[in-house]
Structure 1
Amino acid sequence: MSKDPRQEETFRHSPDTAWRRVEDDAVVLDLRSGVYFSLNDTAARMWELLGEGLDAAEVAEQVSEEYGQELSEVRADLGGLVRQLRKEGLLLPSSPA
Structure 2
Amino acid sequence: MSLHISDAVIWNEMGDGVSLYHVETGEFRSLNDTAAKIWVLLSDDGDPEAVKTKLSLLYGAGNAAIGARIRADVDAFLDTMVERGMLVETVQA
TM-score by length of 2: 0.82
2:57 paired residue number: 65
CA contact (8 A) 2:42 2:51 kept: yes
1:89 paired residue number: 85
* Long gaps (5+) in structure 1: 1-8
> Aligned equivalents of 2:46 and 2:38: distance in 1?
10
Aligned residues: 88
In percent, how many aligned pairs have the same letter?
A: 26
Decide which of 33, 46, 54 is 1:41's aligned counterpart: 33
Q: Counterpart amino acid of 1:23?
A: G
Q: Counterpart amino acid of 1:74?
A: I
Instruction: Confirm or deny that 1:28 pairs with 2:24.
Output: no
TM-score by length of 1: 0.79
* Long gaps (5+) in structure 2: 61-65
1:5 paired residue number: none
Greater gyration radius: 2
